[in-house]
Amino acid sequence: MAEIEDTHFETGDSGASATFPMQCSALRKNGFVMLKSRPCKIVEMSTSKTGKHGHAKVHMVGIDIFSGKKYEDICPSTHNMDVPHVKREDYQLTDISDDGYLCLMGDSGDLREDLKIPDGDLGTQLRAEYDAGKELLCTVLKSCGEECVIAIKTNTALDK
């Protein structure tokens, strides 16, 4: 008999995929889709008519939800495309560390300090409003193992 006590599994992952398949014709504008292996939000879609021997083709233009880069792809409408699981969560900003990491508190009170200040205007606005003493809520988008702050708003719940 093989010894079962020796088997030890390190993973804590549920094994669920980061994407799910969806027929190309069922995708809609403002939805999410994987273009060139990147999670994108669809900003433009057009369908061409079927050719002599072919399928109707769907032309999609999407913007990467993390980097803002534009991607496009053409796919037959009957084929499946991968759609990323996108999760949006709001966190309360409690602190900004010296090395540029945000200290965020979730609804359940758990703290996380693994997200950097976003680049560009959003990061500048976030730091300025935090330094001005405003209570901020950061919207974090999570997909395909990546996370980033995509929006900030002043926490109005504290005023009530």
pLDDT digits 0-9 by tens, 94-131:
988 888 889 999 888 889 898 888 888 888 998 898 88
Nearest to 139 by CA among 101, 109, 106: 106
**Residue 122 near residue 152, CB atoms below 8 Å:** yes
Token digits of residue 114: 């693994």
> Which percentage of the chain shows pLDDT scores above 70?
88
Residue-range domains of the chain with CATH: 19-84 (2.30.30.30), 86-154 (2.40.50.140)
- pLDDT tens sequence across 8-44: 555 555 556 788 899 988 999 999 999 999 999 999 9
Question: What tens digit of pLDDT does each residue of 67-100 get?
Answer: 899 999 998 888 999 999 999 999 999 988 888 8
Is it the case that residue 156 has pLDDT exceeding 80? no
8-state DSSP, 131? H
The verdict on pTM exceeding 0.85 is: no
Exposure string of 74-100, with b = 16+ CB inside 10 Å and e = fewer, is ebebeeebbbbeeeeeebbbeeeeeee
